[in-house]
């Protein structure tokens, strides 16, 4: 389990306040209003087998770029790497339908890695998520999930992020390569037995950071 305070501690340790040009106390204070959206103030439970997490703190990519935050993920002593060639992380943008809901920082609530969508293609997963009233994770939200809960990435239990797309048929994905977390992409028409589609029930209202002049 990991409380909001503990998730904030993780980001402070990794240097997120410096990315935002604010000090650690301001960073913490700015994020504390998000506690209002946590049921009963309980810590987030992470079920690695089921691929679920109660909530995850997200710092939006406009202020904490994925190319800077991805290498901060460490799973079993191995840092995450990006293998997006010929694309770069900024190629994948949040869907227009999601962009208005994404502020400086917010919580993902009721996160699911996507065990039930393994071996689906995106159109199938989109239909399933829509029917279930769930929203797909963006690329930076997938990075945020693994920043706090790196063991949510498991052999044969990895995930794509349909909430971020570029103007072609590539879909960003996070998987394990020789036990190392890897950010890459897959063609949207190719199903994979080891890739599901990560989602959340909803996003909390967002907060804005106070920044130094």
Antiparallel, parallel or unpaired: β 158-160 and 78-79? unpaired
Query: Residue 94 is part of which domain span?
Result: 4-203
pLDDT at 102 over 80: no
Within a domain: residue 141? Answer: yes
Summarize pLDDT for 142-157 with one digit per residue, the tens. 999 999 999 999 999 9
Number of domains in the chain: 1
pLDDT at 94 over 70: yes
Within a domain: residue 210? Answer: no
The reported pLDDT for the residue numbered 61 is 66
Within a domain: residue 208? Answer: no
Q: By the 8 A CB rule, do 80 and 140 touch?
A: no
The reported pLDDT for the residue numbered 2 is 95
Q: Which of 1-10, 13-22, 57-66, 72-81 has the lowest mean pLDDT?
A: 57-66
pLDDT at 212 over 80: no
Summarize pLDDT for 150-198 with one digit per residue, the tens. 999 999 999 999 999 999 999 999 999 999 999 999 999 899 999 999 9
d(CA 182, CA 70): 9
Residues with Cβ within 8 Å of 37's Cβ and at least 6 positions away in sequence, in order, are 55, 107, 109, 204, 205
Within a domain: residue 105? Answer: yes
Within a domain: residue 126? Answer: yes
Within a domain: residue 175? Answer: yes
CA neighbor of 27 nearest in space, from 213, 167, 212, 201: 212
Within a domain: residue 211? Answer: no
Within a domain: residue 209? Answer: no
**E-strand stretches of 29-179:** 46-47, 52-59, 74-75, 78-79, 81-82, 93-94, 105-112, 135-136, 158-160, 164-165, 170-177
CA neighbor of 180 nearest in space, from 61, 80, 111: 80
């Amino acid at each position: 389990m990991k409380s909001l305070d503990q998730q904030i501690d993780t980001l402070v340790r990794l240097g997120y306040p410096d990315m935002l040009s604010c000090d650690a106390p301001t960073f913490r204070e700015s994020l504390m209003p998000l506690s209002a959206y946590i049921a009963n103030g309980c810590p987030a439970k992470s079920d690695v087998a089921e691929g679920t997490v109660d909530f995850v703190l997200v710092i939006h990519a406009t202020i904490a770029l994925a190319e800077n935050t991805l290498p901060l993920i460490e799973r079993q002593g191995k840092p995450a790497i990006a293998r997006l060639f010929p694309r770069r992380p900024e190629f994948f943008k949040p869907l227009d339908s999601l962009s208005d809901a994404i502020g400086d920082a917010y919580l993902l609530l009721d996160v699911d890695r996507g065990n039930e969508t393994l071996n689906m293609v995106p159109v199938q997963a989109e239909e399933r998520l829509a029917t279930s009233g769930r929203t797909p994770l963006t690329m930076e939200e997938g990075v945020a999930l693994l920043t706090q809960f790196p063991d949510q990435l498991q052999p044969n239990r990895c995930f794509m992020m349909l909430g971020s797309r570029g103007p072609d048929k590539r879909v960003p994905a996070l998987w394990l390569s020789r036990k190392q977390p890897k950010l890459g992409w897959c063609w949207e028409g190719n199903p994979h037995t080891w890739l599901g589609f990560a989602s959340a029930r909803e996003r909390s209202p967002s907060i804005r950071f106070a920044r130094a002049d």
